[in-house]
Each structure stands twice: as C-alpha cells, then as structure tokens.
Amino acid sequence: MSIGEIYNLQERISIACRIGEVKQPVAEAVTEEFFRRHPDWLARYGERGRRLAIEDAKYHLDFLAGAIESGSVASFEDYARWSSRMLAARGIAPQFVAENFRQLGESLNRILSEDSAEMISSYIQAGSAACTEKAEDIEEVKSGELAQSQRLFLESILKGQRETAATIALEVIRCGHQIIDVYTEIFQESQFQVGHLWESNKISVAEEHMATAITQFVMARVYPLIEPAERVRGRMVITGVEGEMHQIGANMVADVLEARGWDVRFLGTNMPHQGILKAVEDHRADVVGISATMLFNLPKVVQIIKQIRENFDADNLWIFVGGASFRQVPQLYSEIGADGYALNLGAAIALLETRFPV
C-alpha cells in the first residue's frame, strides 16, 4: 500500500506545511551538527560553505514536503538521485548527502508529532538509499531524421550562437518538417540534454540559462510560422502557478497546441492566482493547463485548482496538469481535482486530442 493510500491528501498537506514552518531552524541546526561532525569541512569550505549547506538543507526539505504532499516516495528518491549526482559532480561524495538526509529526518522527528514520524522516516530512508545507488549513464545517442539537426542546435545554444540556432530550426521547417516535430525533437530534446549537462557539472549555471534563453529566442522566431488551423478546437489558458519559475516547457505546450487548433492564451509562469482566474474568465476558457516543475510548488497547484472550481462551472471547464512534479505520481491529478495529466509535449498533444477529437 502506498503512502498516498495510507494518508489522505489533507493529512499529507498538513505534514508538508509543518515541515515548511520549521524548515529554517531545522536546516540551521542540522548544518551546525554536520560541521561539528566534519570539522575539516569548515576549513575546506569556510563560512560560505556553511551558508550554502543551509540553503541545500532547506532545498532538501522543500522537496521532502512536496513529495509527501504528492504521496510519492519515488518522487523523493528521484530527487535524492538527482541531488547526489549533481553534488558529486561538484566534489561532494554521495555518502555525505545521505548523511545529511538522515540528519534532517532525525531532526524533524524530534520536532514534529509521532503521527508523522513513520511517514517522514520512510521517505528519508528511501532517499538516503537512493543517494548511494550506482549512477546509471542516462546519456544516449539519439537517432532519427532530425537527430543531426538537434545535435547542431544543442551545440549552437551552448556556444551562445543565437542566429545559428535560429537558422538550424528555420531550415528544418523549410525542408518540409512539421513545426511540431521541431518543438518535440529539437527544442524539447535539447532542453533535456542541457539539464543533464548542468546536473553533471559539464556546463555552468550561466551556460544553462543562456541555452534556455536562446531556445526561447528561437521559439519566438518559429512561432509566427504556425499556420492557423482550419478549425478552432476551443479556448485554452496555459500557465504556471505562483512561485513556478520554469517556463519553457509550458511555453512549448502552448505553442504546439495552438498549432493543433486551440485558441491559446499563454500567461507565462509565476503567475498570481487572481491573474489566472481573470484570464480564464476573460478568455472564456474551455481548458486550463497548469504547469509545475518543482515538487514544492504542488501546494499552489492544489490551491489554484480549488479556486478555479469554486469560480467556474466544473462541467464546462476541463483542467489538465503537467510537469516534472507529476512524473512519479501521474494519478495525483485526479486527487487534486484536475481532469488529466501530461508529462511532456507529446503526451500533452495526445491527451488533448483524445479528450477533444476533431
């Protein structure tokens, strides 16, 4: 039986909120204890290292709270693997990350109620074990008609060559490929690889931001080439909740669904909820798409869905969610009041065209 079946959503939200309330003092106390255990770290990293360790601990707690709210131990294991790989690439061995996780669990269980101890311990144990798993090589050579174009595009965005990247995408379209293929096989795939390169410390955060910004620049060049569909399927609002900073995935979904015949109003991400509600009303939306990449943004997804349901006729408004937050718990969409879920661009197309066939 899963955690999501043992504890209902409100119970999980309550525990997640309590973790958020004690996040700062727990992160500080655990960091102090860690540096006492490992005095050589202070000599090696100094006070800046201490500050960064507190921020890392707070980030761990944010993801723990998000995973608990979603009811998915696997989500926290995914985060633990990612965090361990990312920090290992920067010189911090996995066993130290696992130790930090265990310290956080012990500290939380001293502060929070006994009722939450079993749940928190199950997540911490699973995450600690995942930290020290042998890393799999997730890089693979992509094949397919656009594989070479994708590799050239990736090389261009990593070198800061905006016009070259735009030329590659536009040439693919000129040669007869569909715009949707450019989005899924070039833009989306390149962003996946950029993320992996940053995680493994092969590119800097500045290079990662640059590559993403250039991809958005090229998308803006390609967007005017989207031809209006012969038939409008309906009106749609796509957005990211307040606090969600990852925009490019939702932007891709908005562009491609517009190419498939939807009248889309894309609001960007980190959108205040009142703004989302007003856009749904003004656009007379039939569908609302909500994006959440980071687990700790799930509470905001729950809030905005509840607000939409309270303000609009549920029978005439269909809500779908997407993003990495739902990777390990695709069934969560139903529990939080949405009507559908899509992890990536291709899944979003399939979901909407199955639910709203022409």
pLDDT at 43: 85
pLDDT at 2: 53
Please determine, for residue 56, whether its predicted confidence score (pLDDT) is greater than 60.
yes
pLDDT digits over 71-127, tens only?
889 889 989 998 898 889 888 999 999 999 999 999 999 998 887 888 899 999 999
Report d(CA 31, CA 327) in Å as an integer.
30
Structure tokens at 92: 């911090």
- List of E strands, the chain: 234-240, 262-266, 287-291, 318-322, 340-342
Which residues, 6 or more positions from 230, have their beta carbon under 8 angstroms from its beta carbon?
261
Query: What does R_g of the chain's alpha carbons equal in angstroms?
Result: 22
pLDDT at 158: 94
Domain spanning 3-131 has what CATH number? 1.10.490.20
Structure tokens at 257: 């669904």
Angle at 63 between CA 62 and CA 69, to 5 degrees: 95
pLDDT digits over 287-330, tens only?
999 999 888 898 899 999 999 999 998 788 999 999 888 888 88
Report d(CA 95, CA 101) in Å as an integer.
10
Residue with tokens 């500050």: 51
Domain 147-225, second-level architecture: Orthogonal Bundle (1.10)
Identify the band that residue 142 occupies on the pLDDT scale cut at 50, 70 and 90: low
Residue 317 sits at φ, ψ, to 5 deg, of -135, 120
pLDDT at 281: 96
Domain covering 234-355, topology: Rossmann fold (3.40.50)
Ranges of each domain in the chain: 3-131, 147-225, 234-355
**pTM, full prediction:** 0.80
pLDDT digits over 210-254, tens only?
999 999 999 999 999 988 777 789 999 999 998 888 899 999 999
Report d(CA 226, CA 285) in Å as an integer.
21
pLDDT digits over 171-205, tens only?
999 888 999 999 999 999 999 999 999 988 999 99
Q: Distance between terminal CA atoms of the chain?
A: 40
pLDDT digits over 333-357, tens only?
999 999 999 988 999 999 999 999 8
Residue with tokens 């909820």: 273
Nearest CA-CA partner of 348 in 315, 323, 317, 325 = 323
Please determine, for residue 47, whether its predicted confidence score (pLDDT) is greater than 80.
yes
Identify the band that residue 136 occupies on the pLDDT scale cut at 50, 70 and 90: low
